[in-house]
Every structure is written in structure tokens, then in C-alpha cells.
Amino acid sequence: MKVKNNRNIRLYIFKSNKHIYAHLIDDKKNKVLTSSSTVSKDIKNKVKIGKNCATAQIVGQSIGLKIKQLGIKEIFFDRGKNLYHGQVKAIADATREQGIIF
């Protein structure tokens, strides 16, 4: 499996009032490669409370594993209008723990 080092791929974080979403987007192809959120089937069973730092960490670990499986090593982190604090930081740290560089 080839390892892609591409800065055109970004991890976009979106927070609603109840849920957290992480989407891996390829900007060249305008396509979502993979995503993870608190409403995903694999995470929904692990989460008891909708949105906090612990659930953000679970979402970050999940998206990190999915990025690794795609063979992508380096991405661009897009936090949108959110501050790099709390839940956004928890997602970033958990993704970095999986070996993803941004």
C-alpha cells in the first residue's frame, strides 16, 4: 500500500448543538473520503452522552484509524470557525495519536 503525503486532503471538524462530525475531504476531487461522528453506528454504541471531550476523543481515534487504513499520512486540519480548544483539541490529539501528521 502506498503512503500518500498530500496537503490537498483536509480533516474538517463540524460541531452541532448535539453532535460532533469529522470529515476527510479531498479538495482536488471535491469528494468526502471518509467520515466519523457521534451518530456513526460504530461510535453511537460507545457514547452515552452526546457531545463532550471524551466523545470527541473517540471520534478522533475513529477518524485516525480510517485515515490510516486509506494510507494517508499527512493532512491539513480545518477546524472551521471553532476555537482550537476543548472538543476540537481532543479530536486533533486523538487523531495525532494514530500517527497522522498535520
Q: How many domains does the chain have?
A: 1
Name every residue whose Cβ is closer than 8 Å to that of residue 68 and which is 6 or more positions away in sequence: 98, 99, 100
Parent domain of 85: 4-97
Domain for residue 10, yes or no?
yes
Calpha distance 52→18 (Å, rounded): 9
Q: Is 72 inside any structural domain?
A: yes
Residue appearing with cell numbers 479531498: 26
Burial level of 85, CB count in 10 A (0-12/13-18/19+)?
exposed
Whether residue 96 is predicted with pLDDT greater than 80 in this model: the reply is yes
The confidence score (pLDDT) of residue 92 equals: 97
Q: How many CB atoms lie within 10 A of CB 41?
A: 6
CATH (domain of 41): 3.30.420.100
The answer to whether 61 and 98 are in contact (CB under 8 A) is: yes
Residue 102 lies in a domain: no
Supply the pLDDT for residue 27.
93
**40 part of a folded domain:** yes
Task: Decide if pLDDT at 5 tops 60.
Answer: no
Tens of pLDDT, residues 18-57 = 999 999 999 999 999 999 999 998 888 888 777 899 999 9
